[in-house]
Chain A
Amino acid sequence: MKYTYVIKRILYSLFVFAVVITLNFFIPRIGVDDPAERYYPPQGNMSEIEYEIIKQVTRQQYGFHVSTGQQYMNYLKGLFQGDLGTSFRPGSPAVIDLILERLPWTLVLSVSTMLIGVTIGILFGVLAAVKRGRWQDTMLLNASTIMVALPAFFIALILSFYLGFELEIFPAYTDSTMVSGFTWTWEGIRRVAQNAALPVLSMVVGSIISYAQGTRNAVIAVTNEDFVLTARAKGLKQSTIRYKHILRNSMLPIVTSLGMSISGLIGGQVVIEQVFNWNGMGTLFLEANNSNDYPLMMGIMLLLSGFTIFAILVTDLVYVLLDPRVTVGDKR
């Protein structure tokens, strides 16, 4: 029974992915007469004939000399081979190479934020749940209310200003040698940590509070559940109840939310990376946007979407397969 659900779910994900691929292909082609012009915009000092030659050459270079339908087919073929297209950058590097180069750096920030956010967040959340109604709890609620309204990039700017420029504790802008001079030595890692400090700090505050609030609500909800009452009635120790029953059961929603937020991991950091000039996928995307580098932009979008679909699918399945209480009715 569950397995049909699993298969249906996977098929559905594939369907969504297929639609996303198609959208991905066609969106940049809106309003473009001749893609070659986008790459090699005409220069004032070129004659008509020269420019025509140049356009032809460029078109062939990027595969635009065939019909749109054919281009779509080529695109799909390329995707199956793991080829996300060629960027418009000088040197025409492959999109996939550019992305893979920057991806680890984005993950450094995301994973750090997530780890710190989850661990400290859960701790604070449990604390607030336990001290429900007391000052710890209210403080968390107030913090949550404020954090929603305060954009992370604003925090980033403030931190960058005070801790970076004024007090010079951490570098206000990412040092470019962090990436180029990177080695797996203590020095290299220390450099990365130094530069990552402010970006992570900007994001982690919101993350901690978010997870804290979530944990607090989950714990309180679970505490009111029947099985906890039963456990209490059975006379189990308070701590056992806390750890074995409450915490573990409230973890499941937290885990699922983790799964969802993974998709936000990569894409959502764009602004923070911009503020600190951190060389991750966020800045790569913005660069691509500024230079109208469509293959690169769409490559990143596709990757992010694919990743999101995957994350949702996995969390979905994990939840379904693990939680014994779930009976799989019809999906909608």
Chain B
Amino acid sequence: MRTKQPMHKRFQRGLVKRIKNTGLFIKRLWSHKQGKVGLILVSFLILVAIFAPIIAPYNPYDVSERTTKGLAPSAKHLLGTTINTGQDIFSMLVYGTRVSLIVGVTSGVCIAFVGSVFGVMAGYLGGFVDTLIMRIVDIMLVIPTLPLVIVLTNVLGRDFWIIILIFVALGWTGLARTIRSLVLVLKNSNYVKAAELAGASRWHVMIRHILPGTSHLVIMSTALSSAGIMVAEAGLSFLGLGDPTAISWGKMLADAQSGGALLFGAWWWILAPGIGIFLAVFSFMRLGIVMEEIANPRMKQTSSVYKIFKSLDGSYIEDVFNSMDDDQKLGIPETARQGGKTHGTHLEA
């Protein structure tokens, strides 16, 4: 039995270890062929978001910097100006990165947190807690996502943070379910059993043993959920139901359509935010897939569907459903897919 080290020393050691691990992790991402691409793109986007005021020639939030409406692309305005307000489109594109990234990443992280907590609780504690959580998951699965989001924004308001809250509230279910499946397996592993026998409390086991075992899933799901939420947010803003004060790519598309870009022939106004959305989602998805492959290299070899046919317990049917949706286009292995299924399906079409 180790002697308990003073608190701050343990903390220091833990921190150093984590930093080292993160560094290793990033290195591995980099060495993966596609991981490189994903990493570069994500870093690029993050940089654009952080340095937006420097990169963008105008500040779209500043009214005094507006000029003639509806200008075509020129040297002064790389992508022209909007028809309805006279803002510089290129600057809006740059600032839009901030909104998309903040909404996506924040929601992704929160979903990861909430989903893993509930998943672990459901899987490990079993019984009533399990039933309760899974029933809630079932019910939320059944209500169509986009209409529910719309109703909730109507009732609760369209504030930036409320929207993030709504996304998180609706998005944790997929991850919870996946984590739970994994936890059911981990529950029976040796080291967990050993810890239990040694008299560790249930909370202790959950936090120190089980949760870390799911870490690869959680991390990967963060990336994938973020991607999915970004699409969802774009869709929501496009319908005009997002935060009206925030400049986001979805809103740019909405403004383009309602401002008559199609009528005026201003195709650049439509293309630019679309490409923005595409880049952001694509890079995060790449990252997520690659992370998964790194964490579970074995999974790369076997097709997931094969594994599905193998596992014949009662819940596989839902697994089959989940695995056959959009994420499958990427050939993502089964468990990874569960994590990635956030809003992709319902909102994509």
Specify which chain A residues have a CB less than 8 angstroms from the CB of B47 in the assembled complex.
none
Interface string of B311-329 (1 = CB under 8 A from A): 0111101001101111111
The bracket for how many chain A residues form the interface is: 35 or more
Using Cβ atoms and an 8 Å threshold, which residues of chain A touch B152? 27
How far in angstroms is the closest Cβ of chain B from A265?
8
Q: Are A148 and B314 CB-contacts (below 8 A) given A224-B303, A267-B144, A312-B142?
A: no
Q: Are A160 and B305 in contact (CB under 8 A)?
A: no
Tell me the complex Cα distance, A42–B234, Å.
Answer: 35
Among B135, B145, B281, B321, the most chain A Cβ lie within 10 Å of the Cβ of B321
With CB as the reference atom, state the residue of chain B lying closest to A166: B265
Known A-B contacts A144-B329, A203-B349, A217-B303; A267 and B146 likewise in contact (beta carbons under 8 Å): yes
Distance of A245 from chain B, by nearest CB (Å): 13
Q: Once the chains are docked, how many angstroms separate the CA of A176 from the CA of B138?
A: 39
Q: Is the CB of B277 within 8 A of A224?
A: no
Q: Give the docked Cα–Cα distance between A285 and B146 (Å).
A: 11
**Given A256-B317, A289-B154, A301-B143, CB of A217 within 8 Å of CB of B328:** yes
Cα distance, A54 to B257, chains bound together (Å): 39
Is B207's CB within 8 Å of the partner chain A? no
B 235-287 contacts with A by CB, 8 A = 235, 238-239, 241, 253, 256-257, 261-263, 265, 267, 270-271, 274, 277-279, 281-282, 285-286
B residues 139-154 in Cβ contact with A at 8 Å: 139, 142-148, 150-152, 154
CA distance in complex: A253, B349 (Å): 20
Distance in Å: Cβ of A225 to nearest Cβ of chain B: 7
Most chain B beta carbons < 10 A, residue from A141, A151, A166, A271: A151
Beta-carbon contacts of A179-204 to B below 8 Å, as 1s and 0s? 00000000000000000000000010
For window 298-348 of chain B, which residues contact chain A by CB distance below 8 Å?
Answer: 303-306, 308-309, 312-315, 317, 320-321, 323-331, 344-348
Contacts of A312 in B (CB 8 A): 142, 321
The B interface, classified by DSSP as helix, strand, loop or mixed, is: helix
- A316, B156: Cα distance in complex, Å: 35
Would you call A270 and B146 a contact (CB within 8 A)?
Answer: yes
Q: Is A268 an interface residue (CB 8 A)?
A: yes
Nearest-Cβ distance from residue A157 to partner chain B, whole angstroms = 5
Q: How far apart sit A318 and B154, CA to CA, in the bound complex (Å)?
A: 38
Within A266-284, the residues touching B (CB, 8 Å) are 266-272, 274-275
Residues of B within 8 A of A149 (CB): 227, 231, 277-279, 281-282, 285
Instruction: Pick the residue among B238, B256, B277, B344 that contacts A271 (CB under 8 A).
Output: B238
Q: How far is the CB of A230 from chain B (nearest CB, A)?
A: 15
Among A188-232, those with CB < 8 Å from B are 203, 206-207, 209-210, 213-214, 217-218, 220-222, 224-225
Q: Which of A146, A263, A328 contacts B314 (CB 8 A)?
A: A328
Q: Which of B154-189 contact A (CB under 8 A)?
A: 154-156
A214 touches B328 (CB 8 A): yes
Cross-chain contact of B253 among A31, A157, A256 (Cβ < 8 A): A157
Which residues of chain B come closer than 8 Å to A99, judged between CB atoms? none
User: How far apart sit A242 and B49, CA to CA, in the bound complex (Å)?
Assistant: 51
Output the least CB separation between A98 and chain B (Å).
Answer: 15
Contacts A221-B306, A286-B239 given; indicate if A157 touches B270 (C-beta within 8 A): yes
A153 is an interface residue with CB less than 8 A from chain B: yes
Q: Which residues of A contact B323 (CB under 8 A)?
A: 253
Contact B331 A217 (CB under 8 A): yes
Given contacts A150-B278, A153-B238, A153-B253, contact A331 B346 (CB under 8 A): no
B residues 101-138 touching A (CB-CB < 8 Å):
130, 134-135, 138
Query: Which A residues lie within 8 Å of B285 (CB)?
Result: 145, 148-149
Scoring B130, B253, B270, B347 by chain A CB atoms within 10 A of each residue's CB, the highest score goes to: B347
Say yes or no: A161-B270 contact (C-beta < 8 A), given A145-B329, A326-B312. yes
CB distance B156 to A30 under 8 Å?
Answer: yes
Asked if A257 contacts B325 (CB within 8 A), the reply is: yes
Question: B321 and A210: CB pair below 8 A?
Answer: no
**Residues in chain A near residue B135, CB distance under 8 A:** 16
- Give the chain B neighbours of A264 by CB distance below 8 A: 144, 345-346, 348-349
Most buried by B among A31, A224, A259, A267: A267
Contacts of A325 in B (CB 8 A): 312
CB contacts under 8 Å to B, within A311-328, are: 312, 315-316, 319-320, 325-328
A271 to B236, CA, bound (A): 9
Report yes or no: A23 in contact with B270, Cβ–Cβ below 8 A.
no
26 inter-chain pairs at a CB distance below 8 angstroms, sorted by A residue, are: A16-B135, A19-B139, A148-B285, A148-B326, A149-B279, A150-B281, A154-B277, A157-B253, A209-B329, A214-B329, A217-B328, A221-B303, A224-B303, A256-B321, A257-B321, A264-B348, A268-B349, A271-B238, A289-B154, A292-B154, A297-B150, A297-B151, A301-B143, A301-B148, A329-B312, A332-B315
Give 5 closest A-B pairs by Cβ, nearest first.
Answer: A257-B324, A144-B329, A267-B144, A221-B305, A268-B349
- Name A's B-contacting residues (CB within 8 A): 16, 19-20, 23, 27-28, 30-31, 113, 141, 144-154, 157-158, 160-162, 164-166, 172, 203, 206-207, 209-210, 213-214, 217-218, 220-222, 224-225, 250, 253-254, 256-257, 259-261, 263-272, 274-275, 285-286, 289, 292, 297-298, 300-301, 304-305, 308-309, 312, 315-316, 319-320, 325-332
Given contacts A149-B278, A154-B270, A270-B146, 10 further A-B contacts (CB under 8 A): A16-B139, A145-B286, A153-B238, A165-B265, A166-B265, A289-B150, A301-B144, A301-B147, A330-B314, A332-B134
